[in-house]
Structure 1
Amino acid sequence: MTTRTERVTVSDGAFDMPVWLPASGRGPGILLIQEVWGVGPYIRKVGEDLAALGYVVGAPELFWRLHEHWEGAHDDAGLAASLDLASRFDFERGVEDSAAALGHLRGLPEVAGRAGTFGICLGGSIGYMLGARGLPDAVVAFYGSAIPDATDLMDSVRAPLLCVFGGSDPYIPRDKVAKVEEAAAGRPGVEVRVYEKAGHAFHNHLAPRFHDPEYAPRAWEAATTFLSRHLPVT
C-alpha cells in the first residue's frame, strides 16, 4: 500500500496529514478524523482498511498546536494524557483545520471527485459539524459526543449521515443518544446505529478497556455498507 504525508496550510501554520492510497491508485476521498489518542496505530489501521476498500484516505493531525505528532498510549496514563490534551483542544479551530484538510484532500490528483468523512470519537463530532456546513459528500460519525447537543444542526446536514453509538457509553448517556435517534427519525439518508451493550470507543482494537470484539465488526460492517451506497468505489 502506498502512503505519504501531505502538509496542510492554514492561516496560523501548517500540519501533517498522512495519506493512504488504494491499490488502484485512485478513488473517492475519505477524511479520517482522529480520536483523542491522535493519529496513532489505531487510526493508521483504520486508514489502511479504508484504503484497502478503494478509498484515498487522509488523517489530519489535529493536535498540532498542542503537541505535534501526538500518539497517546492505550493505557491509563496515555488515556489521561490524551484527555488532558483534548480538554485544551480548541474545537472550533479543529473544525476549521478539518475543513482545510478536506479541501486539500479533494485537491489531490488521486481523489476521484467525491469525498466524505469518517470521524471517531472527537472526530465524529467534528465530522458532523463539517456535515452541517455542507462540505462532505457522506458523513460517518462514531460516538461523537457533541452530536446529541447539536441535533438542531441536522437540518443543515445535506449529505447522507451515519451515527454510531454504544448504548452503554459512560461518556454519552443513553438518553442523549435517544435525542439523536429522535432527530433522525424519518429523515431520508440519516441512519443511527446503537449497539446497546457497547460502551465508548468500542471499535478501537488497541484499547483493552474499551474494545468490544462482538460489536466492533458490526459497526465496521454498518459503516462500510453505508459508504458503499453513498460514496461508492467505481
Structure 2
Amino acid sequence: MGNFVRIPAGPDQSFDAWIEEPPADRFPGPRPALVVLPEIYNVNEWARGVARRYADAGFVALVPDLFWRLEPGQYLPYTPEAQQKGRDLYARLDVAASTRDIGSALAWLRARADSNGKVGVVGFCLGGQLAFLSGVDATPDAVVSYYGTDLHKFLDRVPQLRAPALLHFGETDTRVPASIAGEIERHKLPEQDLVTVVHPAAPHGFSRTGYEPFHAEADARAFEQTLSLFARTL
C-alpha cells in the first residue's frame, strides 16, 4: 500500500505526492520510475490505483498533487460538484509552474537509491496535457498521454517534443476529438519518435478503471502499448 511523500520544489517549497513501490521480491533494484499525472480530480482513489497498477508492473510510481500551488490536498471524487471544482482549479492552473513541478518529481525519482536513472511520465486528461508538455519542457525519458485535454493549443510545440512519446485518443471522445491525432501527425518531424493511436469506439476517460466511462478493450490495448514503450525506453 502506498503513502504520501514530500517532493522538494525550490527554496522552502515542497508538495505532496502519492508513491507506490513494486514488490521487492519480484522487482529487485535498480528500477525504473514513472510520474503519473492524474485527471482534474487529482490524487483520488482512481489515480492511486493507477500508481499501484504500474507498481505491480515493476515501476516506482509517483502521483503529484497537481493543484498544490492553488489549493493543496484537493483529491476529488467523481461527482458533478467535484467535477466543477476540478474545472475551476484547472482554469487557474499555472501550466508552466506545473511543468517545473514535474521536473522536480523526475529529479527526486532519479535520486532514489533504487533508481536505474530512467523515469517516464504518463498522464490522463489534464495529466495527459501536462505529460505532453513535460516532454517539451522537462527531461523525461519517455512520455505517454491519454486523451490529453486542449492539445490543439500546443500543436506548434509538437516538433519540440524530445522524448519518445505515445499519445492515446478515443474514437468517440467528445471532449478531446480524435481528429487531434491527425493534427499532431501533420505537425511532427520525420525523425521524431512519436506515435498517436486512436482506439476504436473508445470515449473520453476510457482507461478510468472501475468507473464510467471505462472501456475494457481500449484500456487493455492502450496499457499494453504503453508498457511496450516503457520497456523500450526505461
Q: Same fold (TM over 0.5)?
A: yes
Which AA in structure 2 matches 1:7?
A: R
- Tell me what 1:118 maps to: 122
- Tell me what 2:4 maps to: 5
* Separation (CA, whole Å) in 1 of partners of 2:216 and 2:111: 37
Residue 186 of structure 1: how far off its partner (Å): 4.5
Residue 121 of structure 1 contacts residue 143 of structure 1 at CA under 8 Å; is this kept in 2? Answer: yes
What runs of 5+ residues in structure 1 fail to find an aligned partner?
none
What runs of 5+ residues in structure 2 fail to find an aligned partner?
none
1:31 maps onto 2:35 in alignment: yes
* Separation (CA, whole Å) in 2 of partners of 1:135 and 1:13: 21
- Tell me what 2:169 maps to: 165
* Separation (CA, whole Å) in 2 of partners of 1:155 and 1:188: 8
Residue 36 of structure 1 contacts residue 83 of structure 1 at CA under 8 Å; is this kept in 2? Answer: yes
TM-score with structure 1 setting the length: 0.89
Which AA in structure 2 matches 1:73?
A: P
Which AA in structure 1 matches 2:18?
A: P
* Separation (CA, whole Å) in 1 of partners of 2:74 and 2:160: 32
Residue 134 of structure 1 contacts residue 159 of structure 1 at CA under 8 Å; is this kept in 2? Answer: no
Residue 203 of structure 1: how far off its partner (Å): 0.5
Question: After TM superposition, what 4+ stretches of structure 1 lie above 6 angstroms from structure 2?
Answer: none
1:180 maps onto 2:184 in alignment: yes
- Tell me what 2:15 maps to: 15
Encode CA deviations 1:2-42: one digit per residue, 9 max, x unaligned. x3432122247321112211113531111111210111111
When the two chains are superposed, the root-mean-square deviation of aligned CA atoms in Å is 2.0
Residue 46 of structure 1: how far off its partner (Å): 0.8
* Separation (CA, whole Å) in 2 of partners of 1:21 and 1:76: 32
1:67 maps onto 2:71 in alignment: yes
How many residue pairs are counted as aligned between the two chains?
229
1:90 maps onto 2:94 in alignment: yes
Residue 103 of structure 2 contacts residue 138 of structure 2 at CA under 8 Å; is this kept in 1? Answer: no
Q: Percent identity?
A: 28
Residue 80 of structure 1: how far off its partner (Å): 2.0
Residue 179 of structure 1: how far off its partner (Å): 0.3
- Tell me what 2:222 maps to: 219
Q: Which moved more, 1:180-189 or 1:159-168?
A: 180-189
Q: 1:136 aligns with which of 140, 147, 161?
A: 140
Paired residue secondary structure (1:194): strand
Residue 157 of structure 1: how far off its partner (Å): 2.1
TM-score with structure 2 setting the length: 0.89
